[in-house]
Structure 1
């Protein structure tokens, strides 16, 4: 079993679809059920025993840095992208000196999930246990369409019987990439430009048979617009059997 104790949280996006809320607040600090979106990710990392997180910042960075500085229980380091947004892949490469040469977790700051009650093992621990650096470069957490709130679109990948992922092309039963990755940083070795999307790495790993998926347990939520906040709060309350705040 691998020990993965470092994570990167991708938090540098502009959150343009979340306006007007994000005119004064970075999207990771937008609250759902009284809690900033990024707090759900930090709590998930803490549950899984991850002790160190690197967070990239760009838009309204001082507000996010200030909030992060007040969070106890985990070492949080900042990767500053205020000079230039580097997209999802470039942002991780910029942070590699802080992340190190071993496999690490990557989380989106604006998606979160509810663990399945009584499942015994949280999803990030299951991701860590599933990752095999001998056969995998990238492991994605996946969700079925009926496990998701706020997702628009057909789905992203097809999950084969052996756990490998292939891009969904309209045939078969698609799954959603649910905003969590375990990756080995060797996937970046051939890339020289500073700004690029992680989708490029997904395609490379897929072409080499080294892109895998792990079906999550529980319910996944993505919050892209102001209207989606209420939808997420209602879905959360319904799943957990609680009254809507």
Structure 2
């Protein structure tokens, strides 16, 4: 099992306004707990020892919150105050902090409930370092709670993923949780860019895979999604 995780927490939270007018999106609460704490609790339960968190918008508030969690985990800040680097640029910027072994990457605007197998442990069990540069946790579009998209990926019987074709629907949605090799981050562009650049390289090389989440997943990127997710959680 990987012992390092990166939590993506630097975004402006525009879709979550007005809740993010005075707090960063990772500190918005769902079910009485900040999204950031949901993620931290999951990685700690999976045996992660070191967590890298990138910060930009209202960074001081995030750092203050993280200091209160310092007893649980070795938490390291990847500071993007000078420039918001997007997901791929944030990973490239944090590369010196992430070590040389595969590590988890988790977006903090999603919430998942584990099924029979812990989602992070499932990723760790399925990881094949000889074959993979990226292993994405996906969920069937029909089970993507609070999500309004048309799917992200197709997946073959071996687990290789390919992109949704324009104008079509794809059967799987990316959950915002992945396990990646440092090999994925080689030769990054300068400045802000999306993780899609890294994924497209891995897909072209046949080294991008998916694994299906066995539990529940909620896209909580908007204020309207929060009560819907909370209602479903309350119903068990």
TM-score above 0.5, yes or no: yes
TM score, norm. by length of structure 2? 0.95
Conserved 8 A contact 2:151-2:169: no
Conserved 8 A contact 1:147-1:218: no
Paired residue for 2:129, among 133, 143, 154?
Answer: 133
Please give the alpha-carbon distance, in whole angstroms, between the structure 2 residues aligned to 1:102 and 1:115. 24
Please tell me the root mean square deviation across aligned C-alpha atoms, in Å: 1.3
Aligned to 1:228: 225
Conserved 8 A contact 1:9-1:108: yes
Please give the alpha-carbon distance, in whole angstroms, between the structure 1 residues aligned to 2:176 and 2:86. 15
Other structure's SS at 1:213 match: strand
Conserved 8 A contact 2:51-2:76: yes
- Give 1:194 deviation, angstroms: 2.9
4+ residue segments displaced more than 2 Å: 170-173
Please give the alpha-carbon distance, in whole angstroms, between the structure 1 residues aligned to 2:141 and 2:3. 30
* Gapped regions of structure 1 (runs ≥ 5): none
Paired residue for 2:66, among 65, 68, 75?
Answer: 68
Please give the alpha-carbon distance, in whole angstroms, between the structure 2 residues aligned to 1:144 and 1:193. 34
TM score, norm. by length of structure 1? 0.92
- Give 1:85 deviation, angstroms: 0.4
Q: Count residues with an aligned counterpart.
A: 234
Q: Is the aligned partner of 1:149 residue 2:112?
A: no
Please give the alpha-carbon distance, in whole angstroms, between the structure 2 residues aligned to 1:77 and 1:38. 14
Aligned to 2:24: 26
* Gapped regions of structure 2 (runs ≥ 5): none
Other structure's SS at 2:224 match: helix
- Give 1:213 deviation, angstroms: 0.2
Aligned to 2:175: 178
